[in-house]
Amino acid sequence: MIVEDDPAILEVYLIKFEIEGHRVCGAQNGQEALKLLDSFGPDIILLDMMMPIMGGLEFMKQFRAQPRPAEVIVFSNISAPEQRQEALSLGAADYWIKSDFTPELVTRRVMERWQKRGS
Is there a contact between 72 and 91 (Cβ–Cβ < 8 Å)? yes
**50: domain CATH number?**
3.40.50.2300
Q: What per-residue confidence (pLDDT) applies to 36?
A: 94
Task: Look up the domain containing 32 and give its range.
Answer: 2-71+86-110
| Closest residue by Cα to residue 47 from 4, 79, 13, 83 | 4
Average pLDDT per run of 10 along the chain, which is 119 residues long? 96 94 94 93 94 95 86 93 94 94 90 75
Strand partners, 33: none
Q: What per-residue confidence (pLDDT) applies to 119?
A: 52
Q: How many separate domains does the chain show?
A: 1
Q: What per-residue confidence (pLDDT) applies to 56?
A: 95
* Residue 64, Ramachandran bin (φ over 0: left; ψ between -120 and 50: alpha; else beta): alpha
Assigned domain for 52 exists: yes
Q: CB 42: neighbour CB atoms within 10 A?
A: 20
